[in-house]
A and B are shown apart, each in its own frame.
Chain A
Amino acid sequence: GAVVSQHPSRVICKSGTSVKIECRSLDFQATTMFWYRQFPKKSLMLMATSNEGSKATYEQGVEKDKFLINHASLTLSTLTVTSAHPEDSSFYICSASPMGLAGGGELFFGEGSRLTVL
């Protein structure tokens, strides 16, 4: 199956700092990537759809200026949590679909990034 790599797996930062999380598709090109957030023992909440070469599409209630998404190439999308606060502490997971979801493709997920803001 396709491989999606996410880095870092864990990050601890101080309140007010910014943190960047990278998501790479290693063996396929991804014009679209999806960023999810997961709270403990909860489901995945779609934050935004990252589009290569254009602006990301954010879900309702997700602050664009808080969660900056950049999809500069067909294999790399980044999520930057700006001016992080303790309430931003969460598990962030990226995913992509080599075949596209429209055709019934499956999502391949990164291993997730555990962010802890002190």
Chain B
Amino acid sequence: SQQGEEDPQALSIQEGENATMNCSYKTSINNLQWYRQNSGRGLVHLILIRSNEREKHSGRLRVTLDTSKKSSSLLITASRAADTASYFCATDEAGYSTLTFGKGTMLLVSP
């Protein structure tokens, strides 16, 4: 069953702008991960944030987690055309050993 819901479904921005994607989930989690998928390809792991963390950075990526609201956000700063892809959040529900993916946000960065 679907756990995460990303928002927006699609986002179109210009190079240099920041892109913010949000993810909401329904149950308690151990951690939340963000993945990227180029069209027709497999997924690539971007960043993981644990349930006891509130914010994490990795290069141009910034992830926040609010467990009280069951939501997370992914911020890509100074976006580039190469950032064009679909972005998915994934959660591992407490007690389960699988990842459940959200519906994804399609990001288009125009030069």
A in complex with B: yes
Are B44 and A109 touching (Cβ within 8 A)?
Answer: yes
A101 CB-CB contact with B under 8 Å: yes
Are A111 and B41 touching (Cβ within 8 A)?
Answer: yes
Interface size on A, residues (CB 8 A): 27
Are B43 and A107 touching (Cβ within 8 A)?
Answer: yes
Beta-carbon contacts under 8 Å, A7-45 to B = 32, 34, 36, 41-44
B78 CB-CB contact with A under 8 Å: no
Are B48 and A106 touching (Cβ within 8 A)?
Answer: yes
Neighbouring B residues of A110 by C-beta, 8 Å = 42
Are A104 and B48 touching (Cβ within 8 A)?
Answer: yes
User: How many Å from the CB of B33 to the closest CB on chain A?
Assistant: 6
List residues of B whose CB falls within 8 A of some A CB: 2, 30-31, 33, 35, 40-45, 48, 50, 88, 90, 92, 97-104, 106
